[in-house]
Amino acid sequence: MKVFRILILVVVAALGCHWPTTHVAAEGIDVSQDIAHSTFPTGMTFDLTATSPVPIVKAELLYTEANLETLNLQNAPVEPATSIAVQLPIDFRVNYTPPGIDLNYHWRLTDADGNVLETDPKMATWEDNRFEWKSTSTDMVTVNYQASKSFAKKIAQTAQDTIDQLTADYGAAPHFPIEIWVYQNRSDFLDILAPNHEPWIGDAAFPDLQLILANISDGDDAEIGRVIPHEISHQMLHQATESPFTSLPLWFDEGLAVYNQVGGKSDFPDLVAEAVKTGQLMSVEALKGQFPLDNAGQRQAYAESLSIVQFVLDKWGNDGVAAMIKAYASGASDDEALMTAIGVDTSGLDALWKQSLNYQGDKPPPTATAAGSIDFNQILGAGTSLLVVGSAGAAGIGMIRRNRRERAPARVRGPVELNSYSVQDAETTPVISSGEHRTAMNGEWHAPAH
């Protein structure tokens, strides 16, 4: 089966025009079956049965993931006939699509005379159907669970409380509800991740899909306090600032997430104090993108990001953070957002933050020692992506793949082969092209805390 990925920028739409079409409605095509079902761990299978007085020569499935604007296109193999029965499997392990999301889909059928029928849109859930899931919901959160109902309700309420608090503090109200899928068994959880996942991953978040996948044992209240507020902060901040022109600096995204979590950060003030003493503070500029990949470097980056966010809150209050969120939502660059919100640019913020810590300036680093093994028992995954862009652990270290999905007026995406996940910060811009093209998806992978 030949797979196509086409990214279409509908420039004429921005001009108030209509995209030209030669489609002629196919009144004679009749669809008698149109269903979809999950086939975990592979993906979903879409079944279609249709008849027509004129041979049907083409069947195309078009679907979108969650609330994304990207339209995925998949051709179904059909032999021209007046009656077709299509069974189209789509492997979501290729161009990895996490389970736990709704798909909106419809078929486009073309007959030999060029007549086209577009079926009515339908919704289907791509889920791990090995289990009978239960769910509990609040205003903006649904928790799908296998544990006790009381534990699931605690997760849901913690998430909703975080949403309410962030909305009250910064005006960062979510546009879409958030889905959380909680696994009890670690082996079961690892089965839902991408084929080339890291074995230490403890939870995964996909802000673009409004999705959190977590491995939290029933009764582990401490893990709820660490993981849920942190991940909800990423989800909220992503929805509040989504723009085709810019992405958030990592120090702001991660620092605010760590600020909101409960636990897993008690040693962060000491890490910052030691960096001040030894002259090893990173700059705000350095903390905008990818954090260091080693355990100590990542924890230091998280500690300093929290310190910067705490400084901003202490000096400019919630209004300052709210103004930053509003500026980023408008598409402002980092310096533009900071100048608009708090009156300083990145270098100015760096100077003020370090002055507040009585930092005496950078010093040569101490003699390097042999690198030891990474202790992932210290980790809570955090990030806005590896931001699903995944991120390093907030309570410790996690690996991040941070990609921001760029928006175009319309796009069509077809599956492509999954590349190995990169821990480098990568972004794509809208492209007019045909053939294979990989579009970034926001999400994040986090390591478990023990």
* CATH code (residue 33): 2.60.40.10
- Residues 279, 308, single domain; the answer is yes
Lowest-confidence pick of 116-120, 161-165, 276-280, 365-369:
365-369
- Residues 200, 88, single domain; the answer is no
pLDDT of residue 365: 86
- Residues 92, 49, single domain; the answer is yes
Domain-located, residue 46: yes
d(CA 217, CA 114): 56
Show which of 126, 161, 180 is a domain's final residue.
126
Show which of 126, 158, 183 is a domain's final residue.
126
- Residues 105, 156, single domain; the answer is no
Domain-located, residue 6: no
Does the pLDDT of residue 122 top 80, yes or no?
yes
pTM: 0.77
Does the pLDDT of residue 398 top 50, yes or no?
no
Q: What is the dihedral of CA 373, 377, 378, 381, to 10 degrees?
A: 100
Domain-located, residue 95: yes
CATH number at residue 321: 1.10.390
Domain-located, residue 1: no
Q: Output the DSSP codes for 367-391.
A: PP-------TTB--B--S-------
Does the pLDDT of residue 80 top 70, yes or no?
yes
For the chain, the domain total comes to 2
- Residues 162, 276, single domain; the answer is yes
Does the pLDDT of residue 400 top 60, yes or no?
no
Domain-located, residue 93: yes
Phi, psi of 238 (to 5 degrees): -65, -45
- Residues 416, 319, single domain; the answer is yes
Does the pLDDT of residue 8 top 80, yes or no?
no
- Residues 161, 98, single domain; the answer is no
Q: What is the pLDDT of residues 126-180, one digit of tens each?
A: 999 999 999 999 999 999 999 999 999 999 999 999 999 999 999 998 899 999 9
Domain-located, residue 5: no
pLDDT of residue 57: 97
Report yes or no: 3 and 438 within 8 Å, Cβ to Cβ.
no
Domain-located, residue 17: yes
Does the pLDDT of residue 435 top 60, yes or no?
no
- Residues 277, 390, single domain; the answer is yes
Report yes or no: 449 and 379 within 8 Å, Cβ to Cβ.
yes
d(CA 227, CA 271): 21
- Residues 98, 167, single domain; the answer is no
Domain-located, residue 120: yes
d(CA 397, CA 417): 29
Mean pLDDT over the full length of the chain: 80
pLDDT of residue 200: 77
pLDDT of residue 245: 83
Report yes or no: 76 and 60 within 8 Å, Cβ to Cβ.
yes
pLDDT of residue 202: 79
Q: What is the pLDDT of residues 17-54, one digit of tens each?
A: 333 333 445 568 999 999 999 999 999 999 999 999 99
d(CA 55, CA 57): 6
Q: Give the structural domain span for 271.
A: 134-365+372-446
- Residues 329, 221, single domain; the answer is yes
Structure tokens, 44: 């979903």
Show which of 81, 96, 126 is a domain's final residue.
126
Max avg pLDDT among 102-116, 201-215, 374-388: 102-116
Does the pLDDT of residue 428 top 70, yes or no?
no
Confidence of residue 445 (pLDDT cuts 50, 70, 90): low
- Residues 261, 309, single domain; the answer is yes
- Residues 173, 35, single domain; the answer is no
Tell me the average pLDDT across 429-448: 35
